[in-house]
Structure 1
Amino acid sequence: MGLIQGFARRYLKAFVRSFFVAIPVTVTFLDRVACVERVEGASMKPSLNPGGSLACDVVLLNHCKVRNYEVHHGDVVSLV
């Protein structure tokens, strides 16, 4: 019984440590580098949601390209 409690305590301690490291890293990545968003509705047809479907598409928004002014003709830009 003591061996199981020791293993559970070590496992819990490692999980908590990695959780408190992963959260700031993930938030920083999503804020500075890129994030994933859903595109719903007919506003972006035919580029996104082609074929008349009302299903949503998932896109990757690259923050670095916009920050460095590397936006070109034909790029999709998202404003919040």
Structure 2
Amino acid sequence: MAQSQGWVKRYCKAFCKGFFVAVPVAVTFLDRVACVARVEGASMQPSLNPGGSQSSDVVLLNHWKARNLHVQRGDIVSLVYL
């Protein structure tokens, strides 16, 4: 019985360490480097979401290019109103 409690305690300790390291890293990555967004509607057709309202595309938004102003003709830019 004591052995099984020791395993659970070690597992919980390792999980908490991993959680408290992974969450800040993930939040920083999604805020500063890139994030995932879903494109819905007809505004970007035919390049994105060619099926119309029945389907949606998932895109990776690169924050570095916009932050460093390395945007070129043909790039898709997403604006967020805060």
Look up the match of 1:48: 48
Structure 1: which amino acid aligns with 2:66? V
Contact 1:42 1:54 in 2 (8 A): no
Deviations 1:2-40 (A, max 9, x none): 100000000001001110110100000000000000000
Contact 2:37 2:61 in 1 (8 A): yes
In the alignment of these two chains, the number of paired residues is 80
**DSSP-derived class of the 1:50 partner:** coil
Task: Give 4+ residue runs of structure 1 displaced > 4 Å after superposition.
Answer: none
Look up the match of 2:78: 78
How far apart, CA to CA, are the structure 2 residues paired with 1:51 and 1:25? 35
Look up the match of 2:3: 3
Look up the match of 2:28: 28
How far apart, CA to CA, are the structure 1 residues paired with 2:46 and 2:76? 12
User: Residue 60 in 1 paired to residue 66 in 2?
Assistant: no
Q: How big is the shift at 1:78?
A: 0.3
Q: Which runs of 5+ in 1 are unaligned?
A: none
**DSSP-derived class of the 1:58 partner:** strand
TM-score calculated relative to the size of structure 1: 0.94
Root mean square deviation of aligned Cα? 1.0
How far apart, CA to CA, are the structure 1 residues paired with 2:61 and 2:71? 12
Q: How big is the shift at 1:54?
A: 2.8
- Percent identical residues: 70
Q: Which runs of 5+ in 2 are unaligned?
A: none
